[in-house]
């Protein structure tokens, strides 16, 4: 690796000596990247600040002004009358079971397809993946009909069901790739020792899959938590809407209360940001599994 030569030498002298091109390049790099990065995070910072301003302040000085005082008014309003508090809880109730169920079912399918000679297993795998790549628009209307005929339309079960069904193909594909890389000898040895198919799955395969399950879990959590289109497709009652959909409703109700709208979007953004920071490494590797591997 040639990285050593490229790292700018930490020197105490002020002012770059003009004879060291490497060092000057490092300075240019930061001169471009630092403002760009600031520009990138500026919208987030701005919304965060706005969320902590009072309505009177915004009304008097406009949304783009410096805050004159900090207030929790926006958050109080958003969580209370704006129903974001309830919506957060709804989202948890949908996201947790949907993620767990998706990964469980996907691991079953991946196990079956990766360890056994099921006829046409490649075709099955790719078909399942293809299902996940379909544009959701082609499913919306029939899915709401399917939920009606199952008697779960406008319930959170419907939302969990569609998240599980729609995500399965992708999760299966990724887990399959991982399970295939587990050496045959390992499971073969367990089989000779008398372990059954289910035991091998539970005691050997699943523990070994923990890294990819974590990555997929982080990814699935943000996808499901962030979903909008399925929620507004299978739910009708406003009181049942999860965070993202509730946020849009709130926006309609608080047209010029920008502090409330900003606070509500911060509330909707915080959980995924936490997942992101807690699982940053998993998260990035999860994204890569999906696309370039």
Partner 1 sequence: MTALAAPPRKKRLRAVPKVVWFFLLIPAAVEIGMVFWPAVNSFYLSLTEWNGLGAAKPVGLDNFKNLFADDIFRGALWNNVIWAIGFGGLSVLGGLALAVALNRPRRGVGLYRSAIYLPMVFSLAVTGLFWRVQYQPDGTINTLLGAVGLESVEKQWLANPDTALYAVLIAAVWRQVGYVMVLYLAGLKSTDPTLDDAAATDGAGPWQRFRYVTWPQLRGVNTVVFAVTVIDSLRTFDIVWAMTQGGPYHSSELLSTYMFQQGFTFLNLGYASAIAVVIFALALIFIITYLVRATKEEVA
Q: Which of residues 258-277 bind partner 1 (CB under 8 A)?
A: 258, 261-262, 264-265, 268-269, 272-273, 275-276
Indicate which single residue of 79, 99, 139, 159 sits in contact with partner 1 (rule: CB under 8 A): 139
276 and 219 in contact (C-beta within 8 Å)? no
**Cβ-based neighbours of 172, under 8 Å, separated by 6 or more:** 106, 109, 110, 113, 125, 128, 129
Indicate which single residue of 37, 76, 186, 210 sits in contact with partner 1 (rule: CB under 8 A): 37
Find the part of the chain contacting partner 1 (CB under 8 A) among 45-53, 67-75, 76-84, 209-217.
Answer: 45-53
Q: According to CB under 8 A, which residues from 180 to 199 bind partner 1?
A: 184, 197-198
Report how far Cα 35 is from the mean position of its chain's Cα atoms: 27
Q: What is the 3-class SS of 60-115, one letter each residue?
A: HHCCCCCCCCCCCHHHHHHHCCCCHHHHHHHHHHHHHHHHHHHHHHHHHHHHHHHH
The residue (of 208 and 284) whose beta carbon lies closer to partner 1 is 284
Q: Is the dihedral of CA 183, 186, 187, 188 positive or negative?
A: positive
**CB of residue 220 vs partner 1: minimum separation in angstroms?**
13
For partner 1 (CB under 8 A), the number of binding residues is: 102
**92/271 Cα distance (integer angstroms):** 10
Indicate which single residue of 13, 69, 137, 237 sits in contact with partner 1 (rule: CB under 8 A): 137
**CB of residue 23 vs partner 1: minimum separation in angstroms?**
11
**CB of residue 80 vs partner 1: minimum separation in angstroms?**
19
- Interaction of residue 143 with partner 1, rule CB under 8 A: yes
Q: According to CB under 8 A, which residues from 66 to 125 bind partner 1?
A: 105-106, 108-109, 111-113, 116-118, 122, 124-125
**Cβ-based neighbours of 14, under 8 Å, separated by 6 or more:** none
**CB of residue 210 vs partner 1: minimum separation in angstroms?**
19
**CB of residue 71 vs partner 1: minimum separation in angstroms?**
17
**260/133 Cα distance (integer angstroms):** 36
67 and 262 in contact (C-beta within 8 Å)? no
User: Which x/- pattern over 14-33 shows residues binding partner 1 (rule: CB under 8 A)?
Assistant: ------------x--xx-xx
- Tokens 């410096």, residue? 66
Q: Could you tell me how many residues make up the chain? A: 293
């Amino acid at each position: 690796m040639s990285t050593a030569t490229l790292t700018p030498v930490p020197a105490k002298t002020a002012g770059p000596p003009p004879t060291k091109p490497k060092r000057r390049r490092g300075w240019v790099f930061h001169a471009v990247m630092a403002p760009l990065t600031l520009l990138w995070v500026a919208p987030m910072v701005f919304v965060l600040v706005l969320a902590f301003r009072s309505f009177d302040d915004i009304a008097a000085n406009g949304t783009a002004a410096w805050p004159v005082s900090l207030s929790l008014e926006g958050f109080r309003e958003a969580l209370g009358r704006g129903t974001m508090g309830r919506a957060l809880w709804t989202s948890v109730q949908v996201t947790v079971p949907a993620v767990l169920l998706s990964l469980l079912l996907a691991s079953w399918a991946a196990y079956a397809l990766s360890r056994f000679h099921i006829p046409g297993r490649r075709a099955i795998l790719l078909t399942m993946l293809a299902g996940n790549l379909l544009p959701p628009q082609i499913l919306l209307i029939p899915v709401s009909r399917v939920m009606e005929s199952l008697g779960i339309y406008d319930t959170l079960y419907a939302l969990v069901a569609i998240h599980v069904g729609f995500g399965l193909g992708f999760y299966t594909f990724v887990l399959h790739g991982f399970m295939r890389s587990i050496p045959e000898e390992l499971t073969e040895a367990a089989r000779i020792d008398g372990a059954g198919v289910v035991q091998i799955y539970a005691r050997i395969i699943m523990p070994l899959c923990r890294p990819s399950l974590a990555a997929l879990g982080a990814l699935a959590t943000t996808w499901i938590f962030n979903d909008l289109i399925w929620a507004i497709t299978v739910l009708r009652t406003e009181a049942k809407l999860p965070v993202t959909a509730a946020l849009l409703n709130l926006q309609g109700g608080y047209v010029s209360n920008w502090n409330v709208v900003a606070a509500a979007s911060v509330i909707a953004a915080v959980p995924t940001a936490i997942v992101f920071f807690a699982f940053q490494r998993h998260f990035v590797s999860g994204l890569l599994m999906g696309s370039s591997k």
